[in-house]
Amino acid sequence: MARVLGIDIRIHLSWFLVFTVVLLSLSNPRGILAQLGPGWTDRELLLVAAVATLLFFVSVVVHELAHATVARAFRMPVSSITLFLLGGVANLAKEPPRAFAEFLMAIAGPLTSLVIGATGLGLCQAAFAPHGGCLGLFDGRVSTTFAALDAVGVVAAYLGLVNVLLAAFNMIPGFPLDGGRVLRSIVWGALRDRGRATRIAARGGQLVAGLLVAVGVWRAIGLDDTFGAVWMGFIAYFLYNAASTSLQQERLAASVSGVRVAPLMTTQFQAVDPRMSLAALVNEHMLPHNARAVAVVQNERFAGLVTIADLRKVEQHDWAVTTVDRVMTPARDIPAVSPESRLMTAIERFGGGELPAMPVVQDGVLVGMLEREAVLGYVRMREMLGLDTRR
Ligand SMILES: [Zn+2]
């Protein structure tokens, strides 16, 4: 979408919803801006609301860039920032190496929001200094007009307030919110056990989600504020899911810690030459061996992988005249592991993708295949047996 400081800034679909909701609520004749600037026409209100919405959006991006800048200082490359419902997420290529690095990285965002908030409120204070400052604006002692610095002061007041709230919300100690990361880093530093720290912080995230639901119910029934309640519900849902995913990931990592790829890979794999026809591939390798993925090997080097999904690229009646190298996914586009790789590394590389099997390569030579089903079966088996290497 956009590129700032070498970082791709992407916008999740839910952000357009946020943008629209913020713009609508700000340009509402009974909204906060209309209350701060009561003399404004609808057009003036809409203009100020649009500027305020845009600046709100910019301040969230700056918050995320603060995380990213600190991450880079600790050699954690940040490839992109995705803006979604809860704010933003800086996509880290790897997890923080030390508790202190995570602490600084997590706190950088809320601190930045706090600085923006203080600046906004300070500007507002200066703009309305003759009329009792920003407090006078909020309690209605100042009557603003659209002219002069009033509009600027009002936007500054709104941004100041909203950024202070943003900092406060993000500091709620529920993983993966910033506050949850801060909590995790502190527990991690104190116990010297990252896994346990993650479990505690993720439980915190689930707890906070539960509290948000309770607050939502109270707003719906006690305050008759359905909109606020639905909003709380949305945030609770996203937070609960994110916390639960972190918890599952951590359980998985704990369950397979110390396990390597070698014992789980199969050395009885199918391998073909790149010049073999697709028809021969299907009839001689895929069907008889129930193989969803077949390795392609040339001069004893791993050249690529051909899967059922790759076969669909070609019409069936052309299978006899098409060679494997035309449809295979080349080695450079396929994540590979070595026999000594940690099983968790392989699981992370499988990710949520469709890859049915991963090549196990040693010095460029294919030594085995790690099937997704085998990994899943192994993890399930450990769970059923209650095996856990957790200390
Ligand atoms: Zn943040």
- Enumerate domains of the chain plus CATH numbers: 2-171 (no CATH), 262-385 (3.10.580.10)
- Tell how far the Cα of 60 is from the centroid of ligand 1, in angstroms: 8
pTM, two decimal places: 0.66
The tokens of 249 are what? 């990931």
pLDDT in tens, 185-199: 898 888 888 788 888
| Centroid of ligand 1 to alpha carbon of 307 (angstroms) | 40
| Strands 293-298 and 329-330, bridge-based pairing | unpaired
Task: Output the CA 105–ligand 1 centroid distance in Å.
Answer: 9
Is the model more confident about 374 or about 118? 118
Q: pLDDT tens digits for 3-20?
A: 666 677 777 777 778 778
What number of other Cβ atoms are within 10 A of residue 135's Cβ? 14
Q: Would you place residue 391 in the very low, low, confident or very high pLDDT band (cuts 50, 70, 90)?
A: very low
Residue 314: what are its φ and ψ, rounded to 5°? -120, 140
Query: d(Cα 179, Cα 106) in Å, to the nearest integer?
Result: 7
CB 64 within 8 A of CB 80: no
Distance 80 CA to ligand 1 centre (A): 14
Rounded Cα distance between 190 and 40, Å, is: 55
Ligand 1 centroid – CA 166 distance (Å): 9
How many angstroms does the Cα of residue 161 sit away from the middle of ligand 1?
A: 17
Whether the Cβ atoms of residue 253 and residue 345 lie closer than 8 Å to each other: no
The per-residue pLDDT for range 146-180, each reduced to its tens digit, is: 555 677 778 888 889 889 988 988 888 877 788 88
pLDDT-derived band of residue 119, with 50, 70 and 90 as boundaries? Answer: very high
